[in-house]
Structure 1
Amino acid sequence: MRHTRGRVVEVDDVDDFDRRVAAGARDLAGWRCRGLDLSGRADVLSSCHVAGAMFLGCVLDAGVAADLESRGALVFPTLPDVPVDTYRTSLYTARELFGAAGYAESPDARAYAWAESDLGHDGLLAATLHDHAIDGALAGWVGGRSLVGVMGGHAVRRGSAAYADAARLGWLLGRRFTVATGGGPGAMEAANLGARLVATSEHGLREALTTVAAVPHYDPDVGAWAAAGFRALDDAGAGAGGETLGIPTWHYGHEPPNVFASAIAKYVRNAVREAVLLEVCDAGIVFLPGAAGTVQEVFQDACENYYADPTSVATMVLVGRDHWTEHLPVWPLLRALARDREMEDRVHLVDGVDEAVELVG
């Protein structure tokens, strides 16, 4: 949670910094100043007690950083040659990640190329700082919201029945909850699409599905794939006002983030992302048919529920009886694991998304 009062104060806006100083603040112990342009404020900073303060990625006049450090402050400079903001204070948007030029030149593509390179010491530090910043931004974003997760296969194509089912699931769940997904293509994209268009009619949802189906896959042209998504959002207008979360990772950067998540918590490290994705889904998770990645998520979630306090067990709903009992027989093991545990009555297997919606919460 972001602190704006008390012993620890997070100051992420230069106007907020100026307001506090103008009101008489001179003891900055416990302040966390992130990404502020503090140029021209050397005299103000020299008059403040700064021992115990932190300046993260701030712009400072020449000599000010050394002065702050000599008086007990911690100063973390902006790291060079890093295509991500290591001290950002908000989640991403799809338009920010895709940028205005072609996808190859987009912030998302450049960050993926960087994340796949030999990062070295500074790069690893930047990745850690970035993911920590995303943690903070995400904690602030989820506050006051009840989130339900939708997990499923990344290979589900636009225009397919499975894609339409996932979109309908997101559309129905979005009426009661904030829908969170892994933020990628396939079933994840479809669920984000449905939740984003929660304010539109079923006809409007079908129109959006038709629009994106014109470009069924991101291969070979990510730009065209994203553009079809943005067209669907533009056509929906006010109907695309739903809030929905995507939590992707540059570890799978060859799969671009979908454009339908209204907020995107994109991580460099996948292990962190996986844990966070499960953690934020307090209202439970619906698992659509998927392969190895979805199976991994099922049992990660099952492990959390197995050891959870009785008041913290979250609902698990597996959709697709044949898939989860015959194709990938996850259900028998999951049911056996849940037997005689607090989670036993919160684990379900259903045939379709309408049944799943009734069980969540």
Structure 2
Amino acid sequence: MKAKFKGPVIQRRGQIDGSTTDQRLLDSRGQSDWVHTDPWRVLRIQAEFIEGFGALAELGAAIAVFGSARTPTDDPAYAQAMDVGHKLVGAGFAVITGGGPGAMEAANRGASEAGGVSVGLGVELPFEAGLNEWVDIGINFRYFFVRKTMFVKYSQGFIVLPGGIGTLDEMFEAVTLAQTQKVTEFPVVLVGTEYWSGLMDWLRDTVLATGKIGQSDLDRLVLTDDVDEAVALMVAARDRHA
């Protein structure tokens, strides 16, 4: 059955609306009633921050795992994502994903089945129905920027599995925050050399070669096929900060 989550609210059938909370916040077209309504939206945004901080404050060491919602269960990448979740728990981490299907579900499943803490940070979307069943601690946000803050604040590193626009957005935002020293340095590991090599080649041969980034920016991204290596890099970073 088709459903849509708006924060903690679920809509089904004829009650599903055609826009998102972010869209209404950011859309400047139309009547000037935004002058009166936007200040009230601040209270809802504040409430989302409070809810997220309250739910995750005692989470402990955690790693964010990003990847495609479109990864089918019979794809080798699904099994690899499960392995990532399982081994992160074995290394003493909680696992945080976007809480959706595909690779996110697999990482949550691996973490949950390993007896660890499996966290899902969902967001209101017109085409996804809430959090996957393997999320043990779940928060569904209305606003993307609040959700992104939770990823960055409560993750000590990022493991990036094959994914699309959303995955790229999350990965590059993490690198940008590190580059601009908005956050403490943390590892960003891309798992899947065949999938990510084209992007890395372009960054090196075009973006770096034309001076748009520095070598240190490129060095922030580690490319591997080895899940054990990815987890070991997260452990090493945790030990350095400790």
TM-score (norm 1): 0.51
Task: Tell me which protein shows more strand as a share of its residues.
Answer: 2
Verify the 8 A CA contact 1:167 1:190 in the aligned structure 2: yes
Offset at residue 328 of structure 1 (A): 7.3
Q: 71, 91, 100: which one pairs with 1:184? A: 100
What secondary structure does 1:183 align onto? coil
Does the 8 Å CA contact 1:325/1:332 hold for their aligned counterparts? no
Q: Which residue of 1 aligns with 2:164?
A: 291
How far the C-alpha of 1:249 sits from its partner, in A, is 0.8
Q: Could you list the runs of 5+ residues in structure 2 that have no partner in the other structure? A: 25-32
> 3-state DSSP class of the match of 1:174?
helix
* Whole-Å separation in 2 of the counterparts to 1:330 and 1:153: 21
Q: Report the CA distance between 1:155 and its aligned residue.
A: 0.6
- Name stretches of at least 5 consecutive residues in structure 1 with no aligned partner: 1-101, 200-241
Alignment match, 1:357 = 231
1:169 has 2:88 as partner: no
Q: CA deviation at 1:331?
A: 5.6
Q: 2:54 aligns with which of 118, 136, 140?
A: 140
1:154 matched to 2:56: no
1:332 aligns with 2:231: no
Matches within 5 A, 1:1-361: 104=3, 107-110=9-12, 113-114=16-17, 116=19, 128-144=42-58, 145-175=60-90, 176-199=92-115, 242-281=116-155, 283-308=156-181, 312-326=184-198, 329=201, 332=204, 336=208, 337=213, 339-340=215-216, 344=219, 346-360=220-234, 361=238
CA RMSD of aligned residues (A): 3.4
> Quick one: structure 1 residues 349 and 328, their matched pair in 2 at CA, closer, same or farther if it must change by over 3 Å?
closer
Q: 1:335 to 1:287 in 2, by over 3 A?
A: farther
Partner Cα distance (1:315, 1:258) in 2? 26
Separation of aligned partners in 2, 1:262 and 1:128: 29
Partners of 1:135 and 1:280 in 2: how far apart?
A: 13
| Higher relative contact order, chain-length normalized (CA < 8 Å, sep 6+) | 2
Larger Rg: 1
Q: 1:285 to 1:335 in 2, by over 3 A?
A: farther
State the aligned residue count.
Answer: 214
Tell me the CA shift for residue 294 of structure 1: 1.3
CA distance in 1, matches of 2:215, 2:45: 37
Question: TM-score under structure 2 normalisation?
Answer: 0.73
